[in-house]
Amino acid sequence: MSNKNNTCEQSEHKNNAMTTLLTHYQYSKLEGALAVVRYTTYDEADRVFSVDQITYQPGEIVRLEEEMTAALDCGIECLVITDQAIEDFSLFTGRLRTMPGSPE
């Protein structure tokens, strides 16, 4: 994430039924990385303002959790692709919302 000083201006991006701030995809063929995270911010008109993508290496779970927590607290949308189950990221399970049509 480009904003490393742990401060943020609250995002005006509106969470509707089609958008969630945290999305998790488990992909078993992700090799050599702990996770790939795409951070998306929106402007006042709800248009994409910026997108940053970071590849976290094995052993960087603390960094991933710190940066994602800061992003989510600032209203930045996070999309996570990892071969790990979401339960492995216990810090985020309470922030996930079941999407319609997804298995329980």
For the segment 45-85, what is each residue's pLDDT rounded down to a tens digit? 989 999 999 999 999 988 998 999 899 888 899 999 998 88
The answer for residues whose C-beta is within 8 angstroms of residue 32's C-beta and 6 or more apart is: 57, 58
pLDDT tens, residue by residue, 16-37: 434 468 888 888 888 899 999 9
pTM, whole model, 2 decimals?
A: 0.73
In a domain, 100, yes or no: no
Q: Could you tell me the residue range of the domain that residue 69 belongs to? A: 22-93
Higher pLDDT, 86 or 77: 77
What pLDDT does residue 87 have? 76
In a domain, 39, yes or no: yes
Higher pLDDT, 60 or 100: 60
In a domain, 79, yes or no: yes
The answer for residues whose C-beta is within 8 angstroms of residue 88's C-beta and 6 or more apart is: none
What contacts 24+ positions apart, CB below 8 Å, involve 3-6?
A: 3/70, 3/74, 6/70
Number of domains in the chain: 1
In a domain, 15, yes or no: no
Paired tokens of 47: 């248009």
The answer for residues whose C-beta is within 8 angstroms of residue 85's C-beta and 6 or more apart is: 26
